Structure 1
Amino acid sequence: MPPSSGLRPPSTPNSNEAVTIGSARMAATAKSLPPPESKDAILTRRLVILSFWAIVLCLGLPVWWKTTAIYRADLPLQVMNDWAEGKTCRPVFPLRIAFEAPALPLQDAQHLLRTTQHALDDLNEFSAHHLRLMPAGSPVAANTSQHSQGMTVQDGVLHNKPDEDVAMLIRLVPGESGSTPRAELQSYSPTLEVYYTSNQIPSSSSTSSPLATFIAHELQKMFAEEQATLAYLLSTSSTAHNSKMKSLSPETASALERQSTRAFKYAPTYHLTFSLFSPTASPSEWEIESALQEYISPLLQSLSSISNFTVDTQVQLYATFSPSIHYPEFDAPSNSWTLRREDLSGFINAAEWPLSPSIGAGPTVNFVLYVPNPSQSPLLVKENGGNSWLVPQWGGVLILNPEPSHQNNGTAKILTQESLRPAMLTFSNQLFSLLGLPQTPSSLPLRLSTLKRVRAAALLFSASSTLGALARLTKALPSISIPDTVAKSVDQTIIHLHHACSDLRAGKFHGALEHARIAEAEAEKAFFERSMVGQVYFPDEHKVAVYLPLLGPVAVPLVLAALKELRSLRTRS
C-alpha cells in the first residue's frame, strides 16, 4: 500500500555526505589546539625551571642556613663535668704552724716538735684538713715573727698581712709561776703562748709527752669548728666522695646549716646601711660618723682581705610600727614594755621605712637602731628580755632604751658616741654572724683566716657546680646559641679553678680566695649570658609559623612546575 500522502520517513545521508562532515569536525579541532612545541622551546622552558631550582638550592638555601644557623662555640664539656663531679681537684687545707722555743736547745725543740706532730696526726680524723708544725726559722716560716704581729692594733685599726703562708705561731715560754702546762691565745695576734716547766720537756728517747699531748689537744680544739665547717661544705658538695669525711653529729650539722642559712652569700663588696628610727621627733641627730670610725672601721679594715665594704647612714623620724604586729604590752613585774617573739620578724615596717633592699652591685646589710617613744620605754623582747635580734640574710635590729639620766624632756635630741657604743658593739657581732665568721677560737686573726679558707672552698665548689650546670644545659638544649664570650668565660673559670686548687694545696689561702672569687664570677657570667638565655624560650613551632607564609607562595609554583616536567618526561619516554 502506498504510504499516506502526509508522512515521509527521514532520509539518511549517504556515504559521501558522512565523510564530508567528519573532515569538517577534524579541521575545527585542529584549529583550536596550539601548535606543537619545538625542541628549542621545550629546552628553554626546562632550563628556566632548572635555573630557578639551582638558585634556590645553590644560593638561597646556603644563605638561609648561614644567616639563620645558631652559633655554638666549642665548650670543654668533659672538663666542665669533671670539675662538677670533683674529679679534677681534691681540695685540701694544709695549715702551717710555726713552732718557736727560744729557751730550749735546738735538739730538744726539734724532738718536742716531732712528738707534738705525731700527737696531732693521731687526733686528726679529717684528712683534707691537717696541721703541719715547722720550726720558726725554716724558710717557709722565715717571716714568723712578722706574721705573729701580722694583725695588730695600730692607730685604732687592725692591720694584717694576708699573703703570709704561716697560719699561726706557737711560742713556748718557760713558766715559773702558775699551773703548767697552760696556753694563752692572743686576741689580736695569731699567737699561742704555751707555758711550761723544764721537767715537762720530753727526753730524746721518749716517744710521747704530756706537754706534746697538751699542745696537740689545744690546737685540735682551736680548729675544731673550722674542720667541722669544711667537712660540712664537702658533704654538701659533689666532691665529698673524694675525701675522707669527718663524721658530724646531727647537732653539729644542724647548727652549721643554720649558720649557712643565716649568713649572706659571699660577695666581693657589701653595702652597710646604719639607720636610726624613732616614732617621735627625737632623737633627731646621732654622732654616727665618730661611732663608726671608733667601733666599725677597725673591723672593716680587718675584713678587707676578704671583701670590700661601703657604708651609709640615715635618720627617719615619726617611724611607726608595722601594722602586721601586735602593739607592745606593758609587763608590770619587769616594769617594761614587751614585744612578742613572733612579732620580731614583722617589726620592720617595710612599707613606710626607707630601707632599700639593694644599693650598688653588692648585697645590702641593714642595721636598724630603734629608739622607742619615752612612754613605751624600756621596750624589750618578752621571752628573753633582750633588745636585739638578727634577721637572716638581711641585717640586725637593736632597740636602744636611753637611760633616764640621758633624757631631757623625754628623749635626748642627740645620741652621743658613748651612748651609741653598746649598739655599735652589737652591730659588730651581728655583722660577723651575717658574714659567716666562726665563733671560735677567741683570736680574731685566726677566725678571719678560717673565714678566708671557708670562703675559698665555698667559691671553688660553687664555680665547679655552675660549670656542671652549664654543661648539662648545653647538652639538653641544642637550640640555644653559645657565643664566644661564654666560651671565654668558661676558659677563664677553669684556669682560675686550677690556680685556686693549687694554692689550696700549697697553703696559700689568700691567693686561693682571689682565684676562686674570679672563677665564681666568670662562671656566673657564662651561665647567665643574656644572648644565650633568651633563646631558651624560642621553640621550633615559632620558626615554622614565621617561614611558612614566606616560603609557601614561592615553593608551590616551583614544585608544581618540576612535577609537570617530570610527568612530561615520563609520558614521552
Structure 2
Amino acid sequence: MSSSESERRRCQLAAVSVAVVVLLVGVPLWWRTTTTYRAWLPMAQIQEFSKLQLLLDVEVEVVFARGTLTPEQQKKIPVTQTRDEKHTVDGSTFLTYRYETRYRTATVMEEDALKQPTAATTDRSLNTLSESPCGSLVVYVIPEFSPLLPQDVNVYVGQRRTALVRADAETTAGKTLKQVLVGVEPRVKEALRVMSFSHADIMAVLGNRVRPGSGIPPRKEDSLRAFKSSPGYEITFNLLNPDPKSHRLHWDIEGAVDTYVHPLLSKLGLLANFSVDSQTLYYTTLGFNARFDDHHRAYTLSADSLAHVINPAESRLGSNAASSNPPLNFLLYVPDAQHSPLRILDPQKRLVASNAFHSPHWGGIMIYNVNRENATLPIDIDIDMAKVMGVFLAQLRLLLGVKPTAHPSGVLVAPPGSSGLSDWELDRLMWSHSVENIATATTTITSLVQLLDQIDTIVINDNIAEQVSNAVASLQLATGELELGNLAFALQYSKEAILASERAFFDPSLLHLLYFPSDQKFAIYIPLFLPMGVPLVLSLLKIAAEVRQRRKDKLAKKD
C-alpha cells in the first residue's frame, strides 16, 4: 500500500470516527440539553375535574318533644330518610343536594330545656347539652299550644344550629307515623330554607367566581356578595376630618374594634385571616357636589352621585400592594361647616336612616353629622362608636357574603347576638366558600393543563408538578368531605386546593421559554454546527462514492 493510499485511509477513518461521535454522542446530548423539561402531571385525574360534580350532604335531626307523638308512634322511632335533589347547571356542572334526616324523641334533659320561659333561653339551654357539628341542623318539634312561641309564629330559628317548629295537632291525632312525618315536613323545610344553603346561594358563587371559559353563566345573585373568597382580608377603618381647625375628633377605634369587630372576626376565622388597621386623614374630602335641600333642611347627596364620592379620597387611603389579600375600606366622614348637616337620599328621595352606604368590591362610607349650634370653634367631638360600628358591621356582613334574606310569615329569626353572626349563618358562608374554592381551583388547574397542551415550550418544573399534585389531592379530599357532610374539613381542603392551584398557575418559571419556539432554537445552533457539518457530510459522501466504485470494479473483474 502506497503512502498516499494510507493517508487517504486515515482521513476516511477520521471522518467516519467524527461522524460516529457526532451521531451517537453529540446529537443525543444536544437534543437532551435543549429539550424543554416537563415534569409528570396527574393528567387522568385532572381530566376528571373537567366535569364538576358536587354532592352536598346535610344532616338534619328532627326531635319530637313530649306531646307531639302518641305512644304508638313513639315506638316506631327512630326513622331515617334520605332525599336527593339533582340539578344540572350546564354540560359540565352537576349538583346534588342530599338531606339525610333522622327522627327521634327528645331526651329527659332536652325536655327540661324545652320548659324554659322563652325561645331564646331554650335555644341556649339546648346548645349547652350538645353542640351540633358544622353544616348539621337540629329541629325540635314542640306541641301546638306551647308557650315558647307566639301564636303567629310557627318556626323559630335560633342563634346556633337549632330551630323550634310548632306541631299541628291535626297531623298527629289518629295518624300513622309516616303521615305525621309528612305533615311536619313543610315547616321543617321552612327552617332549612333559612338555616342551610339554597340553590340560589350555590349558583351565585358558581357564577362570576371562576375563570372565563368554564361554561358557568353569571348570576345576578352574585352581585350581593361583593368579595371573592380569599385566604385573607385587609380591613381598614378611616376617619376623615376635612376641617381640623373647626373639629377636634376623638374616636376610640381600638376599644370599638375589640368590642364589636374582633368577636365577629374570631368567628369568621374558619373562613379567612383578617388584619385590622385604622388611620385618621386630615384635609381629606369626598367627591360630592351637595346642594341644600329646603325640604329636608340639610345638604343632600342623591343615590346617583354616590358612585363618584369615593375617588378623591381613595388615593389617600394607602396602598395594599404589600399584601395580595383584598382590602375592605370603611370611611367615617365628618362634613365641614359649609356642608353640614349632610344627608344621603335613597332613590325615592327619602333620607337614609343610617346616613351610610356601601360600595360593592370596595367597602362602606358613613357620614357623621355633628351639632354646631351655639358652639365655639374648634369643637371637641367624641364620636359615638356604638352607632358607627353598628353601621360598619352591617356593611361588613354584606361585603363578606352574609346576605339578608326575606323570611316568610310565621318564621321568627333570632338576632345574631354579640358575635354579630349566627352559627347557621357561618355554615352558609362555609358552604358557599367551599363550593366557590372547589370551582375556582378546578377551573384554574384545567386551564393550566390546556395552556400546557397548547404551548409545548413551557417548562414544567418539579415545583409546579408538586403544586398541581397537591391541588388535585386537596380537591379530591374537599369533594369527598362535602359528600360526607364534614363542612369544616371540606373548607380547609378547598382553601389548600385554591392556594396550590394559584401558585402553580402564576409560577414565574412558566414564562422562561414561552417566547423561545423551536425555530429560534435551530436558528441559534445552525451557525455553530454548519461550519463543522458541511465538510463532514461532504467527506462521508465522498467515502460512500469510493465504496460504491470499488464494488463496481470488483464485479467487473469477476465478469
TM range (shorter): 0.7 to 0.9
Match 1:354 to one of 305, 308, 317 = 317
Superposition pairs for residues 201-216 of structure 1, below 5 Å? Answer: 201-205=172-176, 207-209=178-180, 212-216=184-188
Distance (whole Å) between structure 1 residues aligned to residue 55 and residue 543 of structure 2: 72
Q: Offset of 1:555 from its aligned partner?
A: 2.6
**2:387 counterpart (422, 438, 455):** 422
Within 1, Cα distance between the matches of 2:447 and 2:106? Answer: 44
For residue 166 of structure 1, report the CA deviation from its aligned partner. Answer: 2.9
Q: Is the 8 A contact 1:81 1:471 kept in 2?
A: no
Deviations 1:113-136 (A, max 9, x none): 86xx88x969x7868224333246
Cα RMSD between the aligned structures? 3.8
- Structure 2 residue matching 1:65: 3-state secondary structure: helix
1:494 pairs with one of 472, 496, 520: 472
Contact 1:374 1:410 in 2 (8 A): no
Please give the TM-score of this superposition, normalised by the length of structure 2.
Answer: 0.78
Instruction: Select 1:484's aligned residue among 443, 462, 465.
Output: 462
**Residues 350, 567 of structure 1: alpha-carbon distance in 2 compared, 3 angstrom cutoff:** farther
Partner of 1:185: 157
1:71 aligns with 2:37: yes
- SS of 1:38's equivalent in the other structure is helix
Tell me, yes or no, if structure 1 residue 226 matches structure 2 residue 195.
Answer: no
Distance 1:296 1:367 in 2: 12
Say whether the 8 Å CA contact 1:278–1:319 is kept in structure 2: yes
Which residue number corresponds to residue 27 of structure 2?
61
Q: Secondary structure at the match of 1:61?
A: helix
Change (3 A) 1:274 1:201: same
Structure 1 residues 62 and 176, CA gap change in structure 2 (3 angstroms): closer
**Equivalence for 2:402:** 437
Which one of 42, 51, 56 corresponds to residue 92 of structure 1? 56
**1:285 to 2:263 alignment:** no
Aligned length: 499
SS of residue in 2 equivalent to 1:80: helix
Which segments of 5 or more consecutive residues in structure 2 lack a partner in the other structure?
Answer: 88-94, 114-119, 211-215, 408-412, 415-421, 553-559
8 Å Cα contact 2:86-2:96 kept in structure 1: no
In structure 1, the residue matched to 2:452 is 474
Shift of the alpha carbon at 1:303? 1.0
The one-letter amino acid paired with 1:364 is P
Q: SS at 1:303's partner residue? A: helix
Instruction: Give the Å deviation of 1:312.
Output: 0.6
TM-superposed deviation, 1:40: 0.5
Counterpart Cα distance in 1 of 2:324 and 2:122: 31
The alpha-carbon distance between structure 1 residues 233 and 296, as it changes in their structure 2 partners (threshold 3 A), is: closer
Contact residue 135 and residue 424 of structure 2 kept, 8 A: no
The residue matched to 1:360 in structure 2 has which SS? Answer: coil
- Which residue in 1 is equivalent to 2:367? 399
Look up the match of 1:330: 292
Distance 1:75 1:225, change over 3 A: closer
Q: Which moved more, 1:560-569 or 1:62-71?
A: 560-569
Question: Given that residues 328 and 363 in structure 2 are in contact (C-alpha distance below 8 angstroms), is that contact kept between their aligned partners in structure 1?
Answer: yes
Q: TM-score, normalised by structure 1?
A: 0.76
* In the alignment, structure 1 residue 133 sits paired with structure 2 residue 101: yes
Structure 2 SS opposite 1:84: coil
State yes or no: 1:374 paired with 2:341. no
For 2:186 and 2:24, the matched residues in 1 are separated by: 85
Deviation at 1:287, TM superposition (A): 0.8
- Paired residue type of 1:166: S
Q: 1:41 to 1:214 in 2, by over 3 A?
A: closer
2:497 aligned with 1:534: no
SS at match of 1:522: helix
Partner residue, 2:165? 194
Matches of 1:152 and 1:270, distance apart in 2 = 31
For 2:309 and 2:32, locate their aligned partners in 1 and report how far apart those are by CA, in whole Å. 60
Return the alpha-carbon distance in structure 1 between the equivalents of residues 478 and 500 of structure 2: 14
What one-letter code is carried by the residue in structure 2 that aligns with 1:50? V
Q: Secondary structure at the match of 2:36?
A: coil
| 2:264 corresponds to | 299
The whole-number CA distance in structure 2 between the counterparts of 1:39 and 1:149 is 114
Question: What code does the residue aligned with 1:185 have?
Answer: V
Is the aligned partner of 1:515 residue 2:487? no
User: Which of residues 199, 221, 227 in structure 2 aligns to 1:264?
Assistant: 227
Per-residue CA distance 1:367-388 (angstroms, 9 max, x = gap): 1111111221122234443332
Alpha-carbon offset, residue 289 of structure 1: 0.8
Q: Identify the residue that residue 450 of structure 1 maps to in structure 2.
A: 428
Q: CA deviation at 1:103?
A: 5.3
Matched, 1:166 2:121: no
Give, in whole Å, the separation in 2 of the partners of 1:450 and 1:351.
32
1:202 touches 1:208 (CA, 8 Å); kept in 2?
Answer: no
- 2:56–2:482 contact (8 Å) kept in structure 1: yes
Summarize the Cα distance change of 1:173–1:151 in structure 2 as closer, same or farther, 3 Å threshold: closer
TM superposition shift of 1:437 = 1.8
Compared CA separation, residues 125 and 470, structure 1 to 2 (3 A): closer
SS in 1 for 2:55: coil
Pick the structure with greater CA Rg.
1
Aligned partner letter, 1:307: A
Taking a change above 3 Å as real, the CA distance of residues 423 and 112 of structure 1, as seen in their structure-2 partners, is farther
Q: Deviations over 1:180-210 (max 9, x none)?
A: 7722222x22221234586763445365359
Distance 1:82 1:168 in 2: 36
Paired residue secondary structure (1:208): helix
CA shift in 2, pair 1:487/1:107, >3 Å:
farther
Q: Identity across aligned pairs (percent)?
A: 25
Q: What SS is found at the alignment partner of 1:129?
A: strand
